[in-house]
Amino acid sequence: MELYIIRHGETDWNKKRKFQGQSDIELNDRGRELARITGTALKDVKFDRIYSSPLKRAYETAELIRGEQDIPIITDDRLKEMGFGIREGDSALKILADESDPFHYFFTRPDLYQAPDGGESMEALCDRAAEFLRETIEEEEHQYNKVMIVAHGACNKAMMCHIRKHGIADFWKGNLQKNCSVSIVRLENGNYTVLEDNVIFYEEDSTK
Protein backbone atom coordinates (compact mmCIF):
# COMPACT_ATOMS: atom_id res chain seq x y z
CA MET A 1 0.00 0.00 0.00
CA GLU A 2 1.10 3.55 -0.73
CA LEU A 3 -0.13 6.43 1.41
CA TYR A 4 -0.31 9.98 0.07
CA ILE A 5 -0.33 12.14 3.20
CA ILE A 6 -1.35 15.67 2.20
CA ARG A 7 -1.70 18.94 4.08
CA HIS A 8 -4.70 21.12 3.25
CA GLY A 9 -4.51 24.19 1.00
CA GLU A 10 -3.95 27.75 2.16
CA THR A 11 -6.45 29.67 4.30
CA ASP A 12 -6.57 33.33 5.26
CA TRP A 13 -5.35 32.34 8.74
CA ASN A 14 -2.35 30.57 7.19
CA LYS A 15 -1.60 33.74 5.27
CA LYS A 16 -1.84 35.84 8.45
CA ARG A 17 0.24 33.30 10.41
CA LYS A 18 -2.49 32.56 12.93
CA PHE A 19 -2.83 29.30 14.84
CA GLN A 20 -5.92 27.56 13.44
CA GLY A 21 -6.13 24.35 15.41
CA GLN A 22 -9.66 22.98 15.30
CA SER A 23 -11.25 26.29 14.28
CA ASP A 24 -13.14 25.48 11.08
CA ILE A 25 -11.50 27.92 8.67
CA GLU A 26 -12.22 27.59 4.93
CA LEU A 27 -9.71 27.58 2.10
CA ASN A 28 -9.04 30.90 0.41
CA ASP A 29 -8.83 31.26 -3.39
CA ARG A 30 -5.09 30.53 -3.36
CA GLY A 31 -5.72 27.42 -1.30
CA ARG A 32 -8.23 26.15 -3.82
CA GLU A 33 -5.82 26.87 -6.65
CA LEU A 34 -3.05 24.89 -4.91
CA ALA A 35 -5.40 21.96 -4.38
CA ARG A 36 -6.42 21.96 -8.05
CA ILE A 37 -2.78 22.07 -9.16
CA THR A 38 -1.98 19.17 -6.83
CA GLY A 39 -4.98 17.24 -8.13
CA THR A 40 -3.77 17.73 -11.70
CA ALA A 41 -0.30 16.48 -10.75
CA LEU A 42 -1.83 13.37 -9.14
CA LYS A 43 -4.55 12.75 -11.75
CA ASP A 44 -2.93 9.51 -12.92
CA VAL A 45 -2.78 8.08 -9.40
CA LYS A 46 -5.79 5.77 -9.04
CA PHE A 47 -6.77 6.10 -5.41
CA ASP A 48 -8.73 3.28 -3.82
CA ARG A 49 -9.59 5.14 -0.63
CA ILE A 50 -9.62 8.75 0.59
CA TYR A 51 -9.61 9.77 4.25
CA SER A 52 -9.93 13.36 5.43
CA SER A 53 -10.18 15.48 8.51
CA PRO A 54 -13.78 16.72 8.80
CA LEU A 55 -12.59 20.35 9.00
CA LYS A 56 -13.61 22.35 5.91
CA ARG A 57 -10.10 23.27 4.78
CA ALA A 58 -9.03 19.62 4.64
CA TYR A 59 -12.26 18.20 3.23
CA GLU A 60 -12.43 20.71 0.38
CA THR A 61 -8.76 20.05 -0.40
CA ALA A 62 -9.56 16.34 -0.63
CA GLU A 63 -12.50 17.08 -2.95
CA LEU A 64 -10.41 19.23 -5.27
CA ILE A 65 -7.51 16.77 -5.42
CA ARG A 66 -9.91 13.86 -6.00
CA GLY A 67 -11.24 15.61 -9.08
CA GLU A 68 -13.34 13.33 -11.27
CA GLN A 69 -12.42 10.09 -9.50
CA ASP A 70 -15.57 8.38 -8.21
CA ILE A 71 -14.40 7.72 -4.65
CA PRO A 72 -16.18 8.75 -1.44
CA ILE A 73 -14.25 10.84 1.07
CA ILE A 74 -14.35 9.27 4.52
CA THR A 75 -13.97 11.71 7.41
CA ASP A 76 -12.33 10.74 10.67
CA ASP A 77 -12.17 12.96 13.76
CA ARG A 78 -8.74 11.56 14.58
CA LEU A 79 -7.43 13.49 11.56
CA LYS A 80 -8.46 16.88 12.95
CA GLU A 81 -5.73 19.39 13.61
CA MET A 82 -4.18 19.66 17.06
CA GLY A 83 -6.41 21.66 19.38
CA PHE A 84 -4.87 24.94 20.57
CA GLY A 85 -7.67 25.95 22.92
CA ILE A 86 -7.72 29.63 23.87
CA ARG A 87 -4.75 30.36 21.59
CA GLU A 88 -6.59 29.59 18.37
CA GLY A 89 -6.66 32.71 16.21
CA ASP A 90 -3.60 34.19 17.94
CA SER A 91 -0.55 35.34 15.98
CA ALA A 92 2.02 32.57 15.72
CA LEU A 93 4.86 35.04 15.26
CA LYS A 94 3.95 36.94 18.42
CA ILE A 95 3.49 33.85 20.59
CA LEU A 96 6.63 32.08 19.43
CA ALA A 97 8.76 35.19 19.99
CA ASP A 98 7.80 35.35 23.68
CA GLU A 99 10.28 33.13 25.53
CA SER A 100 8.24 33.38 28.74
CA ASP A 101 5.27 31.72 27.04
CA PRO A 102 5.24 27.87 27.22
CA PHE A 103 3.90 27.93 23.67
CA HIS A 104 7.32 29.28 22.66
CA TYR A 105 8.64 25.69 22.59
CA PHE A 106 6.04 24.40 20.13
CA PHE A 107 8.44 24.25 17.18
CA THR A 108 11.84 24.41 18.89
CA ARG A 109 11.41 21.96 21.80
CA PRO A 110 8.14 20.08 21.32
CA ASP A 111 9.04 17.82 24.23
CA LEU A 112 8.75 20.89 26.51
CA TYR A 113 5.53 22.21 24.98
CA GLN A 114 2.64 22.81 27.38
CA ALA A 115 -0.89 22.93 25.99
CA PRO A 116 -2.85 26.15 26.65
CA ASP A 117 -6.25 26.07 28.37
CA GLY A 118 -8.61 23.95 26.34
CA GLY A 119 -5.76 22.76 24.14
CA GLU A 120 -4.32 19.36 23.36
CA SER A 121 -0.98 17.94 24.39
CA MET A 122 1.58 16.59 21.95
CA GLU A 123 1.11 13.17 23.55
CA ALA A 124 -2.67 13.20 22.97
CA LEU A 125 -2.25 14.25 19.34
CA CYS A 126 0.34 11.53 18.68
CA ASP A 127 -1.84 8.91 20.38
CA ARG A 128 -4.88 9.60 18.19
CA ALA A 129 -2.83 9.84 15.00
CA ALA A 130 -1.17 6.51 15.77
CA GLU A 131 -4.54 4.99 16.62
CA PHE A 132 -5.90 6.05 13.21
CA LEU A 133 -2.95 4.43 11.44
CA ARG A 134 -3.09 1.24 13.49
CA GLU A 135 -6.86 0.71 13.47
CA THR A 136 -7.66 1.94 9.97
CA ILE A 137 -4.65 2.04 7.64
CA GLU A 138 -2.68 -0.94 8.94
CA GLU A 139 -5.84 -3.06 9.10
CA GLU A 140 -6.46 -2.28 5.40
CA GLU A 141 -2.90 -2.82 4.17
CA HIS A 142 -3.81 -5.75 1.94
CA GLN A 143 -7.16 -4.35 0.75
CA TYR A 144 -6.01 -1.20 -1.06
CA ASN A 145 -3.06 -0.08 -3.19
CA LYS A 146 -3.28 3.73 -3.07
CA VAL A 147 -4.75 5.69 -0.17
CA MET A 148 -5.00 9.48 0.17
CA ILE A 149 -5.05 11.08 3.63
CA VAL A 150 -5.75 14.82 3.81
CA ALA A 151 -5.22 16.46 7.16
CA HIS A 152 -3.18 19.21 8.83
CA GLY A 153 0.37 20.29 9.58
CA ALA A 154 0.70 19.04 13.15
CA CYS A 155 -1.59 16.04 12.67
CA ASN A 156 0.42 14.85 9.69
CA LYS A 157 3.63 15.20 11.70
CA ALA A 158 2.03 13.15 14.47
CA MET A 159 1.35 10.39 11.93
CA MET A 160 4.99 10.63 10.86
CA CYS A 161 6.04 10.06 14.48
CA HIS A 162 4.33 6.67 14.29
CA ILE A 163 5.58 5.97 10.77
CA ARG A 164 9.20 6.87 11.58
CA LYS A 165 9.03 5.47 15.11
CA HIS A 166 10.53 8.54 16.75
CA GLY A 167 9.59 10.43 19.89
CA ILE A 168 8.11 13.85 20.48
CA ALA A 169 11.55 15.49 20.72
CA ASP A 170 11.89 14.78 16.98
CA PHE A 171 8.27 15.71 16.19
CA TRP A 172 9.22 18.26 13.50
CA LYS A 173 11.85 16.10 11.80
CA GLY A 174 11.72 16.85 8.08
CA ASN A 175 10.10 20.27 8.73
CA LEU A 176 6.46 21.32 8.55
CA GLN A 177 4.61 20.46 5.35
CA LYS A 178 3.72 23.42 3.16
CA ASN A 179 0.10 23.81 2.07
CA CYS A 180 -0.86 20.97 -0.31
CA SER A 181 2.51 19.33 0.25
CA VAL A 182 2.49 15.57 -0.34
CA SER A 183 4.45 12.90 1.50
CA ILE A 184 4.35 9.40 0.03
CA VAL A 185 4.82 6.41 2.32
CA ARG A 186 4.87 2.68 1.54
CA LEU A 187 3.33 0.25 4.01
CA GLU A 188 4.47 -3.31 3.40
CA ASN A 189 4.06 -6.21 5.81
CA GLY A 190 3.45 -3.78 8.64
CA ASN A 191 6.59 -1.74 7.95
CA TYR A 192 6.65 1.84 6.71
CA THR A 193 9.12 3.40 4.27
CA VAL A 194 9.05 7.12 3.43
CA LEU A 195 9.41 7.35 -0.36
CA GLU A 196 9.03 11.11 -0.79
CA ASP A 197 8.66 13.85 1.79
CA ASN A 198 7.03 17.28 1.49
CA VAL A 199 6.68 17.44 -2.31
CA ILE A 200 4.85 20.42 -3.81
CA PHE A 201 3.62 20.74 -7.39
CA TYR A 202 3.25 24.52 -7.60
CA GLU A 203 5.56 27.51 -7.73
CA GLU A 204 5.93 29.19 -4.37
CA ASP A 205 4.96 32.84 -3.99
CA SER A 206 8.27 34.74 -4.06
CA THR A 207 6.65 37.74 -2.33
CA LYS A 208 6.19 35.85 0.95
- pLDDT per residue over 57-108, tens digit each? 999 999 999 999 999 999 999 999 999 999 999 998 888 888 888 788 999 9
pLDDT at 140 over 60: yes
Residue 204 lies in a domain: no
Average pLDDT, the chain: 95
**47 and 147 Cβ atoms separated by less than 8 Å:** yes
What is the arithmetic mean of pLDDT over 2-9? Answer: 98
DSSP string over 106-171: HHH-GGG--PPTTB--HHHHHHHHHHHIIIIIGGGTTT-SEEEEEE-HHHHHHHHHHHHT--GGGT
| Residue in 25, 23, 31 with CA at minimum distance from that of residue 178 | 31
pLDDT for 206 equals 52
Residue 208 lies in a domain: no
Q: How many CB atoms lie within 10 A of CB 69?
A: 15
- Looking at the structure of the chain, the number of domains it has is 1
Active site residues: 8, 81
- Assign 149 a pLDDT band (cuts: 50, 70, 90): very high
pLDDT, one tens digit per residue, over 101-135 is 878 899 999 999 999 999 999 999 999 999 999 99
Q: What domain range is 142 assigned to?
A: 2-199
Distance, first Cα to last Cα, the chain? 36
Whichever domain contains 63, its CATH number is 3.40.50.1240
Residue 206 lies in a domain: no
Q: How many CB atoms lie within 10 A of CB 81?
A: 27
Burial class, 52, CB count within 10 angstroms (exposed 0-12 / middle 13-18 / buried 19+): buried
Residue 205 lies in a domain: no
Residue 148 lies in a domain: yes
What is the arithmetic mean of pLDDT over 162-175? Answer: 94
pLDDT for 207 equals 47
